[in-house]
Amino acid sequence: MRHRTHTRSFLERGGFGLLALVVSIVLAFEVLPALRLLLAALAPGGAFDPGKALSVLSSRAALRAAQASLETAFLSSLLAVPLGTAMALVLGITDMRGRRLASFLFVLSVMISPQVIALAFLHLAGPASPILNSLGLAPAAGSANLMLGRGGIILVLGLHHAPLVYVVVSAGLKRIPLAVVEAARVDGAGPLRILADQVMPLLRPHLMGAGLLAFVAGIGNFGIPALLGAPVNYLTLPVLIYRRLSSFGTGSLGDVAALGLLVAAIAIVCVAASQILTRRGSVLLEDDAPLAPFWHLDRARAAAEMFVAFVITAVLVLPMLSLLTAALVPSYGMPLNLGTITLDNFVEVLARQDVTMRAFANSFAYAGGAACLLAGLSIPMAYALVRLTGPARIPLTALLETSYVLPGIVLAIACILLFLKPLPLIGLSLYATPAIIVFAYLARFLAVALKPALAGMAQIEIAQEEAAALDGAGRARQLVDIILPSLLPAAVAGGLMTFLLAFSELTVSALLWSAGTETIGVVLYNLEEAGLASQASAVGVVIVAVVMLAMLALHALGRSLPAGTLPWHCPTEGAAFSIARPVRATPHGSMPGAIDPRPALSA
């Protein structure tokens, strides 16, 4: 009798309920938006006519924007790759002190939304810079701001995306067996020789993959080119799409869908190539110990620490000081001193301006609601994908990442196309309502929320469920008693990561907001466009504080999460020169639960 119960449980486990949930989510959040975008671009008006899309893409404005996107993305990746790689090597293979703190701060800089970073760098340079005026170093009045235009975009994109490269290369280092280093040591090789002859060749696929990710992140970035390029009419493809849709409304949807399709095609090809390269570069076997720091710096330690401090100052400290300085003066351009320092800008945006207070409330509600929904969905979805889908798991997981791979501006267009008309049968319209923003957040960050739960599910032994099935426990009881307690910390981490990324994003909500549904990213952009730079800076400072609190909450959960879930984790100081505990290889050749540093982090 017990044998029959066991057999029936495992033939029917999951049944159609959980599988239907996964299929429904894939269709709703991934397949339908992508198909609607394709239909609008290639069959405007319902008739297949790719010629119209080609004419849009071959227009002078589109070609110029495409050139601007490609050159800024390519040149910024040339800065991001060596900078991020150098940080990964210094923090990953040396005995430098404070590695964990440095890693946290470096990754924090990329978690801050691009428009906040762009605003900070914009206020760092130029004759009106409060921090330069305070130091007496401001350029002459009337001088151009060096951050505006092509050069500024390349610099800020490169600095902002360097942590993406750092995360990918750090994951690659963890996939190198420690035995490689030990064997080279036995042969008498020094640390520099080990790095050049052993480590770097094994890292080559990860370096190429990281470069592709930095490139595609630059292609899809909206916030930085919008604030640094649009004022001087240097337009990239995302900014051109935003301008056309803002100027011509829904009547230009066919044109912007064609432009969005071009951006999406570039992103998908580059991300797919990056994934192939990084998987081929994974060499860690199940019984291998991963690479641990092996380089005694001795007298060079001070130089390494100065380099790390310089990089963190450039990517985080100086921009944040610039933002804070601009927020503490009565009006932008005044120097900061004891006579001018004021908190009026913070009071204005947090207590007086209805639109700003509403935007903060909206962002907390939309991002928090999406985070809670995705955290709740991640547990049954992870169970269904790992236990029930069999060979279909790989294509389903790939489909679930579609909206994460797409640049945010492209997803926003797809959502507009999908919900511009009332929904069939029920006649309910989501367009110009908060629901369309929440739907876009759910689609965009589903893959982010699901990663930790999938990693945790892969570590749960099936024997526990078999034992419960032998005792007569049904599927629901197994989920509640076994799966839920085990995956709860991972689900909370996925929800926090979703909130962190969604709270101040601009790329999606820039095209989806309407009166009353403004998000804080939109309000910051509008304040800067209106010339209220000090108030925009105050909003930016509050955003950074919220992001840091979310990251600290995630960091506190770190010990309860699968290895590699948090992208800023690196070996502790005490772990240097020790044999690390072996980790199991994953089917896809990546660290278990690692959150992929896709362009969505910077969109």
Q: What is the per-residue pLDDT across 81-113, written as a single tens digit (0 to 9) for each? A: 999 999 999 998 888 888 889 999 999 998 999
Torsion angle, alpha carbons of 262, 263, 269, 274, to 10 = 170
pLDDT band at 587 (very low <50, low <70, confident <90, very high): very low
Q: Residues 153, 225: contact at Cβ < 8 Å? A: yes
pLDDT band at 571 (very low <50, low <70, confident <90, very high): low
160 versus 174: the higher-pLDDT residue is 160
Q: Residues 215, 77: contact at Cβ < 8 Å? A: yes
pLDDT band at 591 (very low <50, low <70, confident <90, very high): very low
236-245, 424-433, 447-456: which range is least confident on average? 424-433
Is 177 strand, coil or helix? strand
What's the confidence (pLDDT) of residue 589? 37
Residue 349 CB contacts under 8 Å (≥ 6 apart), including other chains? 356, 357, 535, 538, 539, 542
Residue 598: pLDDT above 50?
no
Average pLDDT over residues 551-563: 80
51-55, 313-317, 325-329: which range is least confident on average? 51-55
What's the confidence (pLDDT) of residue 601? 41
Residue with tokens 């991934």: 30
Task: State in Å, rounded, how far the first CA of the chain is from the last one.
Answer: 56
What's the confidence (pLDDT) of residue 65? 93
The span from the CA of 271 to the CA of 410, in Å, is 15
The span from the CA of 223 to the CA of 409, in Å, is 11
223-237, 249-263, 347-361, 527-541: which range is least confident on average? 249-263
Residue 602: pLDDT above 70?
no
Average pLDDT over residues 332-336: 82
Residue 596: pLDDT above 50?
no
Query: Residue 3 CB: number of other CB atoms within 10 A?
Result: 8
pLDDT band at 293 (very low <50, low <70, confident <90, very high): confident
427 versus 237: the higher-pLDDT residue is 237
pLDDT band at 358 (very low <50, low <70, confident <90, very high): very high
Residue 240: pLDDT above 70?
yes
Average pLDDT over residues 334-347: 88
Average pLDDT over residues 357-377: 94
Tokens representing residue 80 in the block: 């991001």
pTM equals 0.86
Residue 574: pLDDT above 70?
no
Tokens representing residue 299 in the block: 């007298």
What's the confidence (pLDDT) of residue 560? 76
Q: What average pLDDT does the structure give for the chain?
A: 83
Tell me the residue length of the chain. 603
The model's pLDDT over 152-173, given as tens digits with 9 standing for 90+, comes to: 999 999 999 999 999 989 888 8
Average pLDDT over residues 129-135: 83
Please give the full DSSP string across 192-237, using - where no structure is assigned: HHHIIIIIHHHHHHHHHHHHHHHHHHHHH--HHHHHHTGGGT---H
What's the confidence (pLDDT) of residue 455? 84
Q: Residues 329, 340: contact at Cβ < 8 Å? A: yes
Residue 461 CB contacts under 8 Å (≥ 6 apart), including other chains? none
Residue 94: phi, psi to the nearest 5? -110, 170
What's the confidence (pLDDT) of residue 4? 42
What's the confidence (pLDDT) of residue 15? 56
Tokens representing residue 220 in the block: 């899809």
What's the confidence (pLDDT) of residue 288? 64
Q: Residues 130, 335: contact at Cβ < 8 Å? A: yes
Average pLDDT over residues 71-76: 95
What's the confidence (pLDDT) of residue 335? 83
Residue 600: pLDDT above 70?
no
The span from the CA of 313 to the CA of 159, in Å, is 11
What are the structural domains, with CATH classification, of the chain?
13-598 (1.10.3720.10)
Q: How far is CA 555 from the centre of its chain?
A: 17
Average pLDDT over residues 1-24: 58
300 versus 467: the higher-pLDDT residue is 300
What's the confidence (pLDDT) of residue 280? 65
The model's pLDDT over 475-525, given as tens digits with 9 standing for 90+, comes to: 777 788 788 888 888 899 899 999 999 998 988 898 899 889 999 999 999
Percent of the chain at pLDDT above 90?
35
